[in-house]
C-alpha cells in the first residue's frame, strides 16, 4: 500500500478534447463509415427524461485486518473495471477523528488506540459515502499517518459510477453496511498480515519495527479478534489475502453485469431530446409554441437583428465573427441580469443629494461554460460580472449511442461545497440549445451539487424550437433560459472528423444535430 493519504483512484475517462476542424472549413455532412466504432469513456446519463436521478452509484464495501490486502483488492477491481468511467476508492483512513494535543503525544508513543471502532468518525464516513452513492459531491477529509492527524484540506469527489469503501471497520456499522451493494471481507493469515504491516509501516509510515510490534500487540491484534474478524459474517464474498486474482475477476464480472442492467434501465428512461425534431426518416412532431417554452428572448431590436445577420453569414471573417460573438454575449449577459434579485439602495451623489437605486442581492455568482462552444460567452460574462469565478463542463455525445457523455467537471469552489452551492447563482453558458442533451446534463450536475433550480440562469445565443427545449422545460421549469433568437428546425447529420494524432487518430466523425438557419458550428468558427 502506498503512503498516499487519501487512497483515491480515478479510472476511466481522461479528458478528451474536442477534435478541431481546420480554419475556414465549413461544416461537412456525410454518412458514417461502416465498421467505424467510437468508444467514449465518459459518464452516460444518470437521470431520466423528467430530470430526476435514476438509481445510485454501485457501492462495494471491503473489510479485513490491517495489511490483509484490502487496498490491493480495491485497486485490482479499479484496474479490471478500467473501461467503466470513474471508479473511486474511499478509504476509511480518511475518517480518523481529529486528535487533541494530548492525544497526539499518546499517538507518537504508540499509546493511542487507532483500532477501536470509536477512533473512526463513522457518521461522517457514512454521510460522505451516502452523498457519493446518491451522485452528490463530497469533500473528503485528508488524514496524515505521519502526523497522526486530520489535515485542514479536503478532497473534492463527484460523479463516481462505482465506489469502493475500504477499511478495517468497513463492515462494522449498520449505517455503512446499509449503503453497500456488495460486501467483501479479505481473509488473511495473521502472520502474513503482521509481516506485511511491519514492512509497510517502516517503509511508508515512518515507524520503527519495535513501535509496530508494540502497537500490534497492544491494539491491532486484540481489535482484529474483537471487532474486525467478526464482521466477516456480514460479507457476501470472502476473498483470500493472497493469490486472489480469480476471486477479483469473479467480483468484476458481477459488477459489470449489475452496471449493464442499470445502464439499460437508464437508456430506457433517459431524456429523448429529439422528439419534435425533423428526422431523416421524415417523421416530424410539430414544435411547441414559443410562449409555452417560457424563454427570455432578447428584444429583437434593429441592433440585435444586425448582429445576428452578421453571425449567421458564412462569408464573414473570423475577426468579425469573434468581435460580434463577444458583443452578443455581453448584451445577453446584461439582459440575463434581470433574473438576479435586487434590493433597494440609496446613495449620496457627489453634490450631496440622496438618490434611491438598487443593489444586487446575490451572495455568490459564478459562471460555468459548457465546453467548447460555451467558452464563446466567457468574455461577455467577464465584462459584465466582474471577478466572478468560472468553471467548465465537458460534455460530448457518443457517436454510437448518441447519448451525452460527461467527460470532465471543473466547478468553482462556490459550487464544490454544498452550503455555498445552495446560496449561489450560476450562469450556465453554451452557444446554443439544440437537442438540449448537454444543457440537460449540465443542469443535472449543478442540481447534484445543491444549486437551486431557480438560481440557474442558462444563457445561449440560439435555441431550437424543434429541439429538446420542451423536454428541458418540462424537467427543469424553474431554470431561467435567456437567448438572442429562437430557430425552428434541427436536422440530423454527420460531421466529418479531422484526423489528429492525439485526439482523433483515425479521423472518425460524429453524429450532430444542426440548427437551421443557425450559425454553423459556433465553437469551430470562434476558436479555429
Q: Which does 94 bind (CB under 5 to 8 A by kind): ligand ADP, ligand L45E5XJ5, none?
A: none
Q: Which residue in 324, 435, 426 sits closest to 380, CA to CA?
A: 324
Q: Per the omega criterion (within 30 degrees of 0), is the bond before 372 cis? A: yes
CB-wise, 42 or 69, nearer to ligand ADP? 69
Q: Which does 115 bind (CB under 5 to 8 A by kind): ligand L45E5XJ5, ligand ADP, none?
A: ligand L45E5XJ5
The residue within the footprint of ligand L45E5XJ5, chosen from 6, 59, 62, 67 (CB under 6 A), is 67
The answer to whether 376 and 366 are in contact (CB under 8 A) is no
The residue within the footprint of ligand L45E5XJ5, chosen from 49, 76, 93, 524 (CB under 6 A), is 93
The residue within the footprint of ligand L45E5XJ5, chosen from 19, 21, 40, 66 (CB under 6 A), is 66
Pick the stretch among 107-115, 184-192, 389-397, 441-449 that binds ligand L45E5XJ5 (CB under 6 A): 107-115
Q: Which does 145 bind (CB under 5 to 8 A by kind): ligand ADP, ligand L45E5XJ5, none?
A: ligand L45E5XJ5
Shortest Cβ 144–ligand ADP spacing (Å): 17
Shortest Cβ 145–ligand L45E5XJ5 spacing (Å): 5
Q: Does 70 engage in binding with ligand ADP (CB under 6 A)? A: yes
CA 133 to chain centre: 13
The number of residues that bind ligand L45E5XJ5 (CB under 6 A) is 13
Residue 363 CB coordination number (10 Å): 11
H or E element in which residue 265 lies: helix 245-269
CB-wise, 145 or 266, nearer to ligand L45E5XJ5? 145
Residues 113-132 that bind ligand L45E5XJ5 (CB under 6 A): 114-115
Q: Which does 489 bind (CB under 5 to 8 A by kind): ligand ADP, ligand L45E5XJ5, none?
A: none
| Cell representation of residue 344 | 433597494
| DSSP assigned state of 369 | E
H or E element in which residue 472 lies: helix 469-475
Give how far Cα 238 sits from Cα of 89, 162, 184, 241, 254, Å. 19, 20, 6, 9, 15
The answer to whether 137 and 158 are in contact (CB under 8 A) is yes
Q: Does 72 engage in binding with ligand ADP (CB under 6 A)? A: yes
Q: Which does 72 bind (CB under 5 to 8 A by kind): ligand L45E5XJ5, ligand ADP, none?
A: ligand ADP
Which residues of 32-92 form beta strands (DSSP E)?
58-64, 87-91
Pick the stretch among 45-53, 66-74, 277-285, 355-363 that binds ligand ADP (CB under 6 A): 66-74
Shortest Cβ 225–ligand L45E5XJ5 spacing (Å): 13
Pick the stretch among 59-67, 217-225, 307-315, 325-333 that binds ligand ADP (CB under 6 A): 59-67
Shortest Cβ 358–ligand ADP spacing (Å): 58
The residue within the footprint of ligand L45E5XJ5, chosen from 77, 87, 182, 220 (CB under 6 A), is 220
Cell 463492515 -> residue: 171
The answer to whether 103 and 112 are in contact (CB under 8 A) is yes
CB-wise, 167 or 434, nearer to ligand L45E5XJ5? 167
Q: Which residue is nearest to ligand L45E5XJ5 (CB)?
A: 66
The answer to whether 129 and 90 are in contact (CB under 8 A) is yes
Q: Which residue is nearest to ligand ADP (CB)?
A: 1
Residues 231-250 that bind ligand ADP (CB under 6 A): 242, 244
Q: Phi, psi at residue 6, to the nearest 5°?
A: -115, 115
Q: Which residue in 388, 381, 370 sits closest to 435, CA to CA?
A: 370
Pair type for strands 480-487 and 424-429: unpaired
Give how far Cα 299 sits from Cα of 44, 222, 308, 395, Å. 37, 75, 12, 30
| DSSP assigned state of 500 | B
Q: Does 376 engage in binding with ligand L45E5XJ5 (CB under 6 A)? A: no
HSE, CB side, 13 Å, CA atoms: give it for residue 289: 2
| Cell representation of residue 67 | 495489511
Residues 200-219 that bind ligand ADP (CB under 6 A): 200
The answer to whether 428 and 458 are in contact (CB under 8 A) is yes
Q: Which does 244 bind (CB under 5 to 8 A by kind): ligand ADP, ligand L45E5XJ5, none?
A: ligand ADP
Q: Does 270 engage in binding with ligand L45E5XJ5 (CB under 6 A)? A: no
| DSSP assigned state of 499 | P
Which residues of 320-442 form beta strands (DSSP E)?
342-348, 354-360, 364-371, 390-397, 404-410, 424-429, 432-433
Q: Which does 242 bind (CB under 5 to 8 A by kind): ligand ADP, ligand L45E5XJ5, none?
A: ligand ADP
| Cell representation of residue 274 | 429529439
Q: Does 172 engage in binding with ligand ADP (CB under 6 A)? A: no
Shortest Cβ 64–ligand ADP spacing (Å): 6
Polymer length in residues for the chain: 528
Interface residue list for ligand L45E5XJ5 (CB under 6 A): 1, 66-67, 93, 96, 107, 114-115, 145, 148, 167-168, 220
Which residues are near ligand ADP by CB under 6 A?
A: 1, 64, 66-72, 196, 200, 242, 244
Amino acid at each position: 500500500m502506498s503512503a498516499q493519504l487519501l487512497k483515491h483512484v480515478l479510472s476511466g475517462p481522461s479528458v478528451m478534447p474536442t477534435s478541431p476542424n481546420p480554419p475556414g472549413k465549413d461544416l461537412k455532412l456525410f454518412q458514417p463509415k461502416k465498421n467505424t466504432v467510437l468508444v467514449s469513456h465518459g459518464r452516460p446519463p444518470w437521470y431520466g427524461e423528467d430530470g430526476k436521478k435514476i438509481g445510485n452509484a454501485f457501492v462495494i464495501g471491503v473489510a479485513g485486518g490491517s495489511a490483509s490486502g484490502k487496498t490491493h483488492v480495491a485497486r485490482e477491481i479499479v484496474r479490471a473495471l478500467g473501461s467503466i468511467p470513474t471508479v473511486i476508492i474511499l478509504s476509511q483512513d480518511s475518517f480518523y477523528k481529529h486528535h487533541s494535543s494530548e492525544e497526539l503525544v499518546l499517538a507518537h508513543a504508540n499509546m493511542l488506540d487507532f483500532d477501536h471502532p470509536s477512533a473512526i468518525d463513522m457518521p461522517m464516513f457514512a454521510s460522505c459515502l451516502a452523498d457519493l452513492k446518491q451522485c452528490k459531491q463530497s469533500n473528503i477529509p485528508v488524514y496524515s499517518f505521519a502526523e497522526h492527524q486530520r489535515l485542514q484540506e479536503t478532497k473534492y469527489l463527484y460523479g463516481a459510477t462505482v465506489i469502493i469503501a475500504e477499511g478495517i471497520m468497513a463492515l462494522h456499522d449498520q449505517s455503512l453496511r446499509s449503503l453497500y451493494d456488495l460486501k467483501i471481507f479479505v481473509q488473511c493469515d495473521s502472520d502474513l498480515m503482521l509481516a506485511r504491516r511491519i514492512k509497510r509501516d517502516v517503509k511508508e509510515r515512518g515507524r520503527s519495527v519495535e513501535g509496530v510490534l508494540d502497537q500490534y500487540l497492544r491494539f491491532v491484534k486484540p481489535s482484529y479478534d474483537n471487532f474486525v474478524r467478526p464482521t466477516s459474517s456480514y460479507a457476501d464474498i470472502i476473498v483470500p489475502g493472497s493469490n486472489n486474482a480469480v476471486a477479483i475477476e469473479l467480483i468484476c464480472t458481477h459488477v459489470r453485469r449489475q452496471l449493464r442492467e442499470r445502464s439499460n434501465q437508464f437508456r430506457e428512461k433517459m431524456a429523448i431530446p429529439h422528439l419534435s425534431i425533423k428526422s431523416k426518416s421524415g417523421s416530424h412532431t410539430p414544435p411547441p409554441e414559443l410562449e409555452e417554452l417560457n424563454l427570455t428572448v432578447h428584444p429583437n431590436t434593429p441592433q440585435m437583428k444586425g448582429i445576428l445577420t452578421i453571425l449567421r453569414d458564412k462569408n464573414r471573417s473570423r475577426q468579425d465573427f469573434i468581435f460580434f460573438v463577444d458583443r452578443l454575449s455581453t448584451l445577453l449577459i446584461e439582459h440575463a441580469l434581470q433574473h438576479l434579485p435586487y434590493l433597494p439602495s440609496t446613495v449620496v451623489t457627489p453634490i450631496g443629494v440622496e438618490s434611491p437605486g438598487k443593489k444586487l442581492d446575490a451572495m455568490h455568482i459564478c459562471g460555468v461554460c459548457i465546453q467548447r462552444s460555451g467558452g464563446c460567452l466567457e468574455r461577455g460574462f467577464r465584462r459584465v460580472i466582474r471577478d466572478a469565478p468560472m468553471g467548465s463542463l465537458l460534455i460530448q455525445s457518443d457517436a454510437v449511442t448518441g447519448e451525452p457523455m460527461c467527460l470532465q467537471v471543473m466547478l468553482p469552489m462556490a459550487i464544490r461545497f454544498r452550503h455555498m452551492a445552495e446560496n449561489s447563482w450560476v450562469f450556465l453558458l453554451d452557444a446554443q440549445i439544440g437537442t438540449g442533451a448537454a444543457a440537460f446534463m449540465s443542469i443535472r450536475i449543478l442540481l447534484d451539487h445543491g444549486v437551486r433550480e431557480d438560481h440557474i440562469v442558462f444563457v445561449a445565443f440560439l435555441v431550437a424550437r424543434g429541439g429538446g427545449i420542451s423536454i428541458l422545460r418540462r424537467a427543469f421549469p424553474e431554470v431561467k433560459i435567456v437567448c438572442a433568437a429562437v430557430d425552428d428546425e434541427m436536422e440530423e447529420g454527420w460531421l466529418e472528423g479531422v484526423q489528429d494524432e492525439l485526439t482523433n487518430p483515425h479521423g472518425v466523425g460524429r453524429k450532430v444535430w444542426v440548427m437551421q438557419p443557425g450559425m454553423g458550428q459556433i465553437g469551430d468558427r470562434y476558436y479555429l
